[in-house]
Amino acid sequence: MANDRFFLIYQEASDEECLLTIQPYKNQQELAEAINQLSARQVEEYTIIKGKKMKATLKLAVELTEADDVEDAEDE
């Protein structure tokens, strides 16, 4: 398949945000370099998909509720 490429999927999270990245690579060398960079940033979990060029649609539902500012009585 001449149009095959590799897709690297990984997630990074902090206290402020959570990022999901899907990055395409044309060959195994580019993919290996990207994985080395992830390893240097201590991102150890990722998925690799080999396939043709793809389109993606993101559907996301988030439910927010008000946080309690009062600490538990056990903490005092």
Positive or negative torsion for Cα 37, 38, 40, 44: negative
- If you average pLDDT over every residue of the chain, what do you get? 83
* Higher pLDDT pick, 6 / 16: 6
Q: Is there a domain that residue 70 lies in?
A: no
- Tell me, yes or no, whether 66 lies in a domain: no
Residue 20's pLDDT is: 87
Domain annotation covers residue 65? no
Which is more confident, 55 or 41? Answer: 41
Asked whether residue 29 is domain-assigned, the answer is: yes
Provide the whole-model pTM. 0.61
The answer as to whether 62 is a domain residue is no
Task: Quickly tell me which residue has 């990722």 as its tokens.
Answer: 46
Residue 9 has pLDDT above 60, yes or no: yes
Q: Confirm if 21 and 10 have CB atoms less than 8 A apart.
A: yes
Structural domain boundaries, residue 42: 5-51
31 found inside a domain = yes
Number of domains in the chain: 1
The reported pLDDT for the residue numbered 29 is: 93
Task: Report d(CA 45, CA 10) in Å as an integer.
Answer: 7
